[in-house]
Amino acid sequence: MTGPEPASGDRQGTLLVVNCGSSTLKLALFDLRLHKIASVLAEKLEQFQATAHIQGDPAPVPLPSHASHRQALEAVIQALFERGWLTQAPVAIGHRVVHGGERFRQAVRIDDRTREAIADCASLAPLHNPVNLAGIDSTRSLFPGVPQIAVFDTAFHQTLPPRAFLYALPQRFYRQWGVRRYGFHGTSHAFMLTETARLLGQLPEQTSLISAHLGNGCSIAAIDHGHSVDTSMGLTPLEGLVMGSRSGDVDPGLFDFLKTKGIGQDELHRILNEQSGLLGLSGQSNDMRTLCELADQGHEASATAIDVFCFRLARYIGAMMASLRRLDALVFTGGIGENSARIRRQTLASLGLLGFAVDPERNSAHGRQSHGHIESGASRFPVLVIATDEERVIAGESLRLATPHT
Ligand code: AMP
């Protein structure tokens, strides 16, 4: 064994969480009390320099050049066995699946029928669902007989009413092709609901909140009495807030205009998804921490990127209030939401008229000494900082669905 001493937990059984992104593979191993035992990151898949590492283990997992998701999964599982992290097949395997269309309102056990239904949703998420399926197919053949669970980014938002999910387009686009707003980050927003209810001492079904997930991808959701009723992402995860390298909302008239400048469909796709957002505005980085440092050193474009990010977010927080009958808390999560006192302060500074007010000390401490609360005594509403843990939610759902009678 080359790595550190693996944690116990494998004796009782493990849960494996698989998250296949377009060029990455993330695995997490949990014990049955939902404590994380190990995590693995494989990057640059399908590229010359594909790599994989088990966290805390200096020895990389050897991968073939241009390793596919399937090859990477096989190599990583083999390494987990060889290095002692796994000694038997997992009790259940949970897969993050990006798009569940209107078909999936909650997590499901995967069988041939549900696998085909996930494949049917691929036209709505051509960059994501096919790689999610590659992960599912690989672990089904590596571990035949082990329950496999699909947990969908879209499922939590299936309670959106038509007024929130319909685009003002000819209705036939929705009826024939399913063109509507679906929303994403549902696992994280659902976790914010349960954690907010717990912190406030309420039942989730009585809890109403605005949940702002601010990471590399960013989205916001209005949750009314335990149901998602509005969210900022749409047909794809491109709509809404400013993100690391995604533009969020733009005027659709932009497409015609850029065509006159010789920018075609493929290039525009790349620009909106990979070269816009914080990266596009700052010209420097998609990473908020870097931009905060640059802005402090006087880099103007970085300060502007932060301004646009916070102002768009503040506008969306205001917009989400139109969907709610009551507001128990505004919640910040994700790498930026959890760690950046500056972004929270700057965003809420635009929302004084709605009655939000932040306590500077609680905010600087990220709410850690105040049960998540960062609002001041003058605030009309509680404001919370809560760490998200999507992998743990997927592990919990997998355990629940794999052992339905316990
Ligand atoms: P995630 O995708 O949730 O891992 O979030 C990644 C984003 O969180 C990146 O933009 C990071 O720069 C940002 N982030 C993490 N820590 C901080 C911090 N202390 N201040 C500002 N941004 C941060």
| pLDDT tens readout for residues 208-221 | 999 999 999 999 99
Residues 15-21 have a mean pLDDT of: 95
**Whole-number pLDDT of residue 21:** 86
| 26 is an annotated ligand-binding site residue | yes
Q: 11 C-alpha to center of ligand 1: Å?
A: 35
Q: What is the CA radius of gyration of the chain?
A: 22
Q: Cβ contacts of residue 119 below 8 Å, gap of 6+?
A: 129, 133
Atom 21, ligand 1: residue with shortest CA distance: 289
- Closest atom of ligand 1 to 290 CA is 12
What ligand 1 atom has the least distance to the C-alpha of 278? Answer: 10
* CA–centroid distance, residue 137 to ligand 1 (Å): 32
Q: Is 365 exposed, middle or buried (0-12, 13-18, 19+ CB in 10 A)?
A: middle
- The verdict on whether residue 269 carries a ligand-binding annotation is no
- Average confidence (pLDDT) over 315-330: 98
- CA 109 – CA 101 distance, rounded (Å): 16
Burial class (CB in 10 A: 0-12, 13-18, 19+), 323: buried
Q: What is the per-residue pLDDT for 170?
A: 98
115 within 8 A of 133, measured Cβ to Cβ: yes
Write the DSSP symbol of residue 268.
H
| The pair of three-digit structure tokens given for residue 227, joined into one six-digit string | 């149901």
Question: Does the pLDDT value for residue 4 go beyond 60?
Answer: no
**CB under 8 Å to 27, separation ≥6 — which residues?**
16, 17, 18, 19, 38, 39, 40, 73, 76, 80
Domains, the chain, ordered by start: 14-152 (3.30.420.40), 202-390 (3.30.420.40)
Q: How confident is the model at residue 10 (pLDDT cuts 50, 70, 90)?
A: low
Q: Whose CA is nearest to atom 19 of ligand 1?
A: 339
> Which residues are catalytic, by number?
153
Give the atom of ligand 1 at the shortest distance from the alpha carbon of 292: 21
Question: Contact at 8 Å (CB) between 44 and 22?
Answer: no
* Ligand 1 centroid to residue 242 C-alpha, Å: 14
Question: Where does the pLDDT of residue 126 fall: very low under 50, low under 70, confident under 90, or very high at 90 and above?
Answer: confident
- pTM for the structure as a whole: 0.93
What one-character DSSP code corresponds to residue 126?
A: T
Nearest C-alpha neighbor of 127 from the set 60, 217, 204, 41: 217
pLDDT on residue 1? 39
Tell me the per-residue pLDDT of 368-381, one tens digit each, with 9 for 90 and over: 999 999 999 999 99
Report whether pLDDT(393) > 90: yes
Contact call for residues 26 and 39 (beta carbons, < 8 A): yes
